[in-house]
Amino acid sequence: MEICLVRHGETDWNKEGRLQGRTNIPLNQAGVDQANECANHLSTTNYDLIITSPLLRAKQTAEIISEKMSVPILEMNHFIERNYGDAEGLTVVERTSKFPNRNYPNQEPRDSLTKRVMEALHFIYQSEKDKRIILVSHGGVINAILAAISNNEIGSGKTKLGNACLSEIKFEKDKWTIQYYNQTSHLSMMR
């Protein structure tokens, strides 16, 4: 099984450096363009299914990819972004000033995030064996997956993922491996 992890395209809050978490923000025009570039790049290979977070920015990205590739979409709540509690909506400067230790009140604990996304990956593997899947989600979710698979060598707290970046994981020999991560060469604004 192979899963291409796609971070959603840019939103105005991404551009402003605001922490989105579960706040439901749509793609901006740059994000729509990025999603189209993802679709064009991914359409050169075959995929069986697109799984998406229920948040609008991920769903819009998934819909653009699906339309180009004619691949069905399945929405899964397990891949919703981490809840950042009292820090949601704040810019980097505001967060640093208000919470210098990065301990945001009411945020979802990192171990809970990792547990829910890895359990969901296990479920996908059990139900969709031998399929090639695109998973459209969020920076926090994708970084949690990368951290869990790499034993924290990359991912949460270590890797800043670009909007509309691609990462690929593969399940073989009874374990997940990372094929590549944070690939942005398909995006014209990154060339």
Q: The domain that contains 175 carries what CATH number? A: 3.40.50.1240
pLDDT digits (tens, 9 = 90+) for 55-85: 999 999 999 999 999 999 999 999 999 999 9
Res. 191 pLDDT band, cuts 50 70 90: low
How many domains does the chain contain in total?
Answer: 1
Give domain status of residue 104, yes or no.
Answer: no
Which of 140, 141, 134 has the alpha carbon at shortest distance from 166? 134
Instruction: List the domain range (segments joined by +) for residue 33.
Output: 2-83+110-190
Give domain status of residue 149, yes or no.
Answer: yes
**Which residue is catalytic, options 10, 37, 81, 88?**
81
Give domain status of residue 7, yes or no.
Answer: yes
Concerning whether 138 is annotated as a catalytic residue, the answer is no
Give domain status of residue 17, yes or no.
Answer: yes
Q: From the centroid of its chain, how far is CA 81?
A: 8
Concerning whether 8 is annotated as a catalytic residue, the answer is yes
